[in-house]
Amino acid sequence: GGYESASKHFNPADVEVDVAGRSFLVTGANSGIGKATAKEIARRGGTVHLVCRNKERAEVAKEEIVTETGNQNIFLHIVDLSNPKEIWKFAEKFQNEHKLNVLINNAGCMVNNRELTEDGLEKNFATNTLGTYIMTTALVPLLEKAADARVITVSSGGMLVQKLNTSDLQSGNGTFDGTMVYAQNKRQQVVMTEQWAKAHRNIHFSVMHPGWADTPAVRSSMPDFYERMKNSLRTEAQGADTVLWLAVSAEATKLPSGLFFQDRQPVPTHLPLAYTHSPPEDEEKLMEVLEEFSQKFKSVSPG
């Protein structure tokens, strides 16, 4: 009932806005919270770019969004967020062809065994952390040209149990626990958001916990949790509510950039008395390492 009690304090007018003429990019938009967010933005007249990995599922999602909202300005881009070269290529092409006001980093994965991508990257890290890092930094120049530019990253309350660990980003040491690796990636997203907010003052950055929602990802990655909790999970639309609020409302940008949100409110990024705080040098180190990784996969295009 967390959503029900929180939503009593919401102002419905915050999200009853017309965003025609504004351009939104949503990663992982063919199901779950990504699709629910894309649909609500489309309903409000926004131009929506769906970035998805699976072409067939993405086409079905696009069709559904167009049919339900009557909005024809829905565009599909097939990109594997665990493949850094593909993200760079996409971002460079996108910058030449489109404008962008709001980037929503929603794509994520929780792989429960240690799998490597073709580039030799651990898959959760490649998608959740490096993929988010490259997509954002590659599109920052485009966002800097836009009015009221925003970046929203969908993290998770699971990150509260993790302290930033920059010494083992690929989870190669010790026993591999997919849930904890995912939580560590989500902590990394919070740190990235805080760092970006300091570096890019004319873009509004935020990161959020959608609450535990009944999504295909939760069903497939956390089956035991799903079975235990399925009667109290949020709907996809409820999980997407704060993403939508951060993306379209005027209220969101009245708050400082770089905060962590749940149910339209900024909330602490650490539990009381938790040993999860990191020294600033660890946070800077994360950004340096991600920048090195990111440049390694950036192809130098001729000319």
Catalogue the active-site residues: 182
Token pair listed for 188: 């990394």
For residue 286, the one-letter residue type is L
CA pair distance 132, 28, nearest whole angstrom: 11
**How far apart are the C-alpha atoms of 70 and 41, rounded to whole Å?**
12
CA distance 262 to 157: 9
* AA identity, residue 100: L
Identify the three-state secondary structure at position 190. helix
Burial degree of 138 (CB within 10 A; 0-12, 13-18, 19+): buried
Three-point CA angle 63, 96, 194, nearest 5°: 85
Q: How far is CA 162 from CA 158, 247, 285, in A?
A: 8, 27, 17
Cβ atoms 209, 261 nearer than 8 A: yes
Distance CA 164, CA 188 (A): 6
- Say which DSSP state 234 is in: B
> Rounded to an integer, what distance in angstroms lies between the CA atom of residue 85 and that of residue 205?
24
Residue showing tokens 């980037």: 103
Over its C-alpha atoms, the chain yields an Rg (Å, rounded) of 18
Q: Would you say 194 and 155 are in contact if contact means Cβ atoms under 8 Å apart?
A: no
